[in-house]
Amino acid sequence: MKLIDRLSEIVGVAHVVTGGGPEGPAPWEQDWRGRSKGRALAMVRPGSTAEVADVVKLCAAEKVSIVPQGGNTGLVDGSIPDTSGTQVVMNLGRLKAVRSIDRKNMTITVEAGCILQSLHEVVEDAGFLFPLSLAAKGSCTIGGNLATNAGGTQVVRYGNARSLCLGLEVVTASGEIWSALSGLRKDNTGYDLRDLFIGSEGTLGIITAATMQLYPRAASQLTAWAALPSIHAALELLERARRVLSASLTGFELMGRFPVSMVRQHLSDLRMPALSTDDPYFVLIECSDAESESHARSLVEGLLSDAIESGEVSDAVVAESLSQVRDLWEVRESIPLAAYKEGLMAAHDISLPIASIPQFVDVTESRLLEAFPGVRISNFGHLGDGNLHYNVHAPSGESAAEFLRRYEEQIRQIVYDSVHQFAGSFSAEHGIGRLKLHWMDSYKSSVELNMMRSIKKALDPSSLMNPGCVVGGG
């Protein structure tokens, strides 16, 4: 019997789909930006963990490799097939049930295919907070968030997806089910397999469900926007905010003048904060207070007036209503869309030890401008985590497509070499996938790469789980 028929026997004929034809790949065969296009043997949509296990067992027996897929919102080609036409894409979208909420334990157990936004809604209805938040929340799934250790805007307080996960259910490369949906905050019985699967991008097994930590909802959430004379001032303000707001500091986002100007230009419907736009940097601060609106306001206003007095902040505004809060966040979150309208760019998702950011910015900008006079740098990101989205646009007036075709790799090399020099990471929150794999040899030690390959071989000896990602192979 053909593989597709046997897959249909497991998941039902309606849940096995073949890929695109002559008119091009199906949406699930390409990344959401449409830049990378693969070709799969088929896409299967199992309806239960047992079906996932049976599909994996079948593929293992037939030596067919599997690409697990959540919302397919990744940016590193980690959830699309290669172009061989031999891989099976396993979409987890049907495994979307919330299995249980434990109020006293403050945990939720949810299946991998649950969309992050839906998870937020269920958790809010139950009176809690699930803090993981990122731009793709309407499409990405919690399984994908865990497989890539997603970050986002609340990491400064709550950590990455990894920090929020207490337990996993995983189908291993041999098709066994490892059920460890623990709700425990302390458990030292053996190696930390949970954190090994988290961030492994489907190359060691398939996450089918997870137990995640919940938090109490804040009594009040206050958002402020500040204009700053320099990036150095932004670091001073961060230090002050950490001291004054402590754990109430839930967001600290940096935006350079150029990305903000792109939002103003290309998304003129958005309400911008009523502040000067000439300053070189802007910061969005979020304070989530357990006590009250007035308590939060007095903390944030005190913070900002002290910062203005000491010269860290030139001007600032605190949102007066929920709609103003939304407006401020929308400016920040619209930067990628505005940049897209501006044209193609070389995008980087980097992190640095926070203290070295000003020097990194200076050095890298000079190197880029020396090599490519006129390039425009869009620097923004999650400063509280040392995570910058440091994107390089073609000089004004030049064809961005042509410029990037010629120089993109050289630009990346300059940025990543600079990141490496300052002990940073060339992938802070987006992962490696296939797209960044070739940088691993340049920036990771052979000791580390060899350990990763040994682990891959130990847990997936035939290299059938998402081969070609993270550690190569396949």
Q: Which two tokens stand for residue 60?
A: 């293992």
Q: What residues numbered 85-104 form the site for a copy of itself, per CB under 8 A?
A: 102-104
Contact 168, 197 (CB under 8 A): yes
For a copy of itself, the closer CB: 361 or 432: 432
What SS3 class is residue 252? Answer: strand
Contact 128, 110 (CB under 8 A): no
Q: How far apart are CA 225 and CA 66, in angstroms?
A: 45
Integer-rounded Cα Rg, in Å, for the chain is 23
Closest distance between a copy of itself and the C-beta of residue 441, in Å? 12
Q: How far apart are CA 384 and CA 253, in angstroms?
A: 7
Contact 433, 355 (CB under 8 A): no
Segment near a copy of itself (CB under 8 A); pick from 26-34, 60-68, 368-376, 448-456: 448-456
Instruction: Name the DSSP letter for residue 201.
Output: T
For a copy of itself, the closer CB: 152 or 273: 152
Q: How far apart are CA 307 and CA 236, in angstroms?
A: 9
Q: What residues numbered 277-316 form the site for a copy of itself, per CB under 8 A?
A: 290-291, 299
Closest distance between a copy of itself and the C-beta of residue 35, in Å? 20
For a copy of itself, the closer CB: 342 or 385: 385
Q: Which member of 71, 431, 467, 468 binds a copy of itself (CB under 8 A)?
A: 431
Q: Which two tokens stand for residue 126?
A: 């139950």
For a copy of itself, the closer CB: 335 or 459: 459
Non-local (6+) Cβ contacts of 146 within 8 A are 112, 161, 162, 165, 168, 197, 198, 199, 207, 210
* DSSP β-ladder status, 88-91 and 66-69: parallel
Q: Which member of 208, 407, 470, 473 binds a copy of itself (CB under 8 A)?
A: 470
Closest distance between a copy of itself and the C-beta of residue 195, in Å? 4
- Establish if 359 lies at the interface with a copy of itself (CB under 8 A): no
Q: What residues numbered 146-175 form the site for a copy of itself, per CB under 8 A?
A: 148-149, 151, 155, 159-160, 162-163, 172
> How many chain residues touch a copy of itself (CB under 8 A)?
89
What SS3 class is residue 414? Answer: helix
Q: What residues numbered 375-414 form the site for a copy of itself, per CB under 8 A?
A: 382, 385-387
Closest distance between a copy of itself and the C-beta of residue 177, in Å? 7
Query: What's the CA angle centered on 140, arms 104 and 436, to 5 degrees?
Result: 120
For a copy of itself, the closer CB: 47 or 216: 216
Element (H, E) at 369: helix 357-371
Q: 3-class secondary structure for 310-364?
A: CCCCCEEEECCCHHHHHHHHHHHHCHHHHHHHHCCEECCEEECCHHHHHHHHHHH
Q: What residues numbered 28-87 form the site for a copy of itself, per CB under 8 A?
A: none
Segment near a copy of itself (CB under 8 A); pick from 143-151, 262-270, 372-380, 398-406: 143-151
For a copy of itself, the closer CB: 115 or 428: 428
Closest distance between a copy of itself and the C-beta of residue 432, in Å? 6
Segment near a copy of itself (CB under 8 A); pick from 14-22, 28-36, 63-71, 439-447: 439-447
For a copy of itself, the closer CB: 65 or 149: 149
Q: Which member of 2, 125, 186, 373 binds a copy of itself (CB under 8 A)?
A: 186
Task: Identify the bridge partners of residue 168 per DSSP, sorted by sequence position.
Answer: 180, 210
Q: What residues numbered 187-246 form the site for a copy of itself, per CB under 8 A?
A: 187-193, 195-196, 198-200, 204, 216, 218, 235, 239, 242-246
Closest distance between a copy of itself and the C-beta of residue 202, in Å? 12
For a copy of itself, the closer CB: 276 or 310: 310
For a copy of itself, the closer CB: 235 or 414: 235
What SS3 class is residue 462? Answer: coil
Cα 102 to chain center, whole Å?
27
Closest distance between a copy of itself and the C-beta of residue 211, in Å? 9
Query: What's the CA angle centered on 35, arms 29 and 39, to 5 degrees?
Result: 25
In angstroms, the Cα distances linking 179 to 55, 175, 212, 372 are: 17, 12, 15, 53
Q: How far apart are CA 168 and CA 119, in angstroms?
A: 16
For a copy of itself, the closer CB: 266 or 295: 295
For a copy of itself, the closer CB: 40 or 469: 469
Closest distance between a copy of itself and the C-beta of residue 37, in Å? 24
Contact 281, 233 (CB under 8 A): yes
